A and B are shown apart, each in its own frame.
Chain A
Amino acid sequence: MRGLIRAALASAGLGMVAIAVIARWPIAESRDLPAPDGDAYRGAYLARSAGCVACHTNTAAGGAALAGGKALTTPFGSFVPPNITADPVHGIGDMTFAEFAAALRQGVRPDGKAYYPAFPYEFYADFSDQDIADLWAAIRTVPSIAEPAPAHDVRFPFNMRWGLKLWRAAYMKPADISPVLGKSDAWIRGQELVRGAAHCAACHTGRNIFGGLKDSEALAGSDSLPEGETAPSIRPEALKTNGWTVANLTYALKTSVMPNGDVFGGSMAEVVQTGTAFLDEGDREAIATYLLDPPEATRTASGAGASKNSAAVELAGDPVAETNEN
């Protein structure tokens, strides 16, 4: 099915009938979702780790919390993270709990259409009902703002939301987070943050021309970030080549100071300042522990049986593994 949809996406020859069918194709798994009691502190901690606060607040312009973020400029157009305060008209106050959950875990709007992947819901697919209830409670502690954020400015054909359903079907890869035998609790927690909430792959994994993440290049770096930025590889071999250790990576996620004495710039400095600097030390260490020792699958596409050394050699010859050496 995926292959088929991808082929359809690639060939521009979609007729009107197909569009009409796709436009009606229901994508949300509708289910009655009772709202569990949410814990605002847990939710606020999660909203920080997951970047909700960072993206949906325009701090640079002095905007109110969650009232709408700075536009994300991409090759597809510019996306403005909307007002997600509890205001019923301009925010998300009129969403039901089930709709809020469908938005986060499935990327589906209350009207059944899909959200743009500029909203990194792929990484939130693993959130539990409790996580969502906690987020819901945390959002409700924030003063409502009765003003809409500016509209997106997305170019054709990407401004056609029905196309997003195809995109979702073809490329959405819900975060795959599963316990791995023989790994420490810190490692498991790190996996959950890196592959889920903290969505490191959203910037550090390459994307195809449709904006879908390339599996085979997981965390190997990307040059398709908003504003034309580049993010280097954060695979273990690349990290080790650049002098990263669990201790100094943990430290950098709080302070931005890199092992060579330079500091993070661009969006990574923001990730730290508005995100990982708020985490507990144990969580930063968990991220570092996981990144410096991920499971075989993320090492290399072909390296299932490869030893650590040969994987390192492979990566050393890979231009994306080469990172900022000044």
Chain B
Amino acid sequence: MTRYNIFGALVLSAIGAAALAHNGATGVVMERMMGMSAMRDAMRDIAPMMQGQADYDEMAVQAAAAVLQQHAGKTMTQLFPEEAIPAASYARPEIWSNWERFSALADELNLYAEALAMAAPNGLVPQTAMTGAMNSMDHGNMPMQSAPKRFSVAELMGVEPLKDAAPAIASPAADETQAVGIDFKMMAADDVFEKVGQTCASCHSAFRKGK
């Protein structure tokens, strides 16, 4: 094998590996997968801090929030042009039949990413002595702790929407922080981080196929 060929083979296998990592996708599908993966890595980097398993680092949270903002909202939706879904893609056709909800979720992610940047200086909610309360011996079908009830009967039964949930963002208003009536500057970073995760999950459960 000539030197040139070896080099060529190396380049090809490097491209191959990158493509395989995204199921062999190309073009716009490849682009959106790379955007999603960048967000995944940003989430992975700060998740342990948000769980209180690693020291809180405001700069790292800011960096992750910037990555999320870079890939959310319009940047995300424009990578989903309506087209026949290639085999390499995990996108569901409902994206285009329910575009309004899909793009609302992409915007919501953008909003929470901005919110995460705003809340980053606040750090985490002080941790309460949670697990110490796990002392129920009777092993009935009841919560372990005798902590205050988090949800009402009506919330648990699905009769009333959750009080602590942010209202659905119908249209991203001019002043987004006002639109949802929540002052993110006052929120703990881990609370906002949870909202980010829930937004990713809401979109995935409706619009991303499983493996």
**Is the pair B158, A57 in contact by a Cβ cutoff of 8 Å?**
yes
Question: Nearest chain A CB to B99's CB is how many angstroms away?
Answer: 16
- Among A60, A189, A259, chain B packs the most CB atoms within 10 A around the CB of A189
Whether A197 sits at the interface, judged by CB under 8 Å, is yes
Contact with A along B148-173 (1 / 0, CB 8 A): 01110111111100000000000000
List residues of chain B with CB within 8 A of the CB of A280: 143-145, 147, 150
B63 to chain A, nearest CB (A): 14
B211 within 8 A of A: yes
Residues of B contacting A300 in the complex (Cβ-Cβ under 8 angstroms): none
Knowing A248-B48, A255-B194, the reply to whether A197 touches B211 (Cβ < 8 A) is: no
Bound form: Cα–Cα A286–B144 in Å: 8
A residues within 8 A CB of B2? Answer: none
CB-CB < 8 A to A188: which residues of B?
139
Give A57 to B158 CA distance when docked, in angstroms: 8
Q: Does B186 contact A (CB under 8 A)?
A: no
On whether A272 and B201 interact (CB within 8 A), knowing A192-B139, A286-B144, the answer reads yes
Task: Check A141–B40 contact: CB distance below 8 A.
Answer: no
B-contact bits for A251-266, CB 8 A (1 contact / 0 none): 1001111011111111
Interface assignment of B134: CB less than 8 Å from any CB of chain A:
yes
CB distance from A229 to the nearest CB of B (A): 5
Binds B, one of A16-24, A125-133, A162-170, A211-219: A125-133
> Nearest Cβ in chain B — how far from A101, in angstroms?
14
Complex CA–CA separation, A257 to B142 (angstroms):
26
Question: A230 near B: Cβ within 8 Å?
Answer: yes
Residue B87 at the A interface, CB < 8 A? no
Q: Is B200 an interface residue (CB 8 A)?
A: yes
B205 in complex: contacting residue of A143, A247, A262, A266, CB < 8 Å: A266
B13 contacts partner chain A, Cβ-Cβ < 8 Å: no
B178 CB–A CB distance under 8 Å: no
Query: Does B78 interact with chain A (Cβ within 8 Å)?
Result: no
Report A87 CB to chain B, min CB distance, Å.
15
Interchain CB contact under 8 A, B141 and A47: no
A99 at interface by CB-CB < 8 Å:
no
Distance between A207 CB and nearest chain B CB, rounded to angstroms = 17
Bound Cα distance A36, B60 (Å):
55
Interface presence of A88 (CB below 8 A)? no
Name B107-153 residues within 8 Å CB distance of A: 130-131, 133-137, 139-145, 147, 149-151, 153
Q: Tell whether A282 pairs with B144 under 8 Å between CB atoms, given A57-B158, A256-B197, A326-B37.
A: yes
Q: Which residues of B contact A264 (CB under 8 A)?
A: 201, 204-205
Q: How far is the CA of A299 from the CA of B157 in the complex (A)?
A: 35
**Contact in complex: A265, B159 (CB < 8 Å):** no
A-B contact pairs, 9 of them (CB 8 A): A48-B156, A141-B153, A185-B137, A189-B139, A261-B43, A280-B147, A285-B144, A286-B144, A324-B211
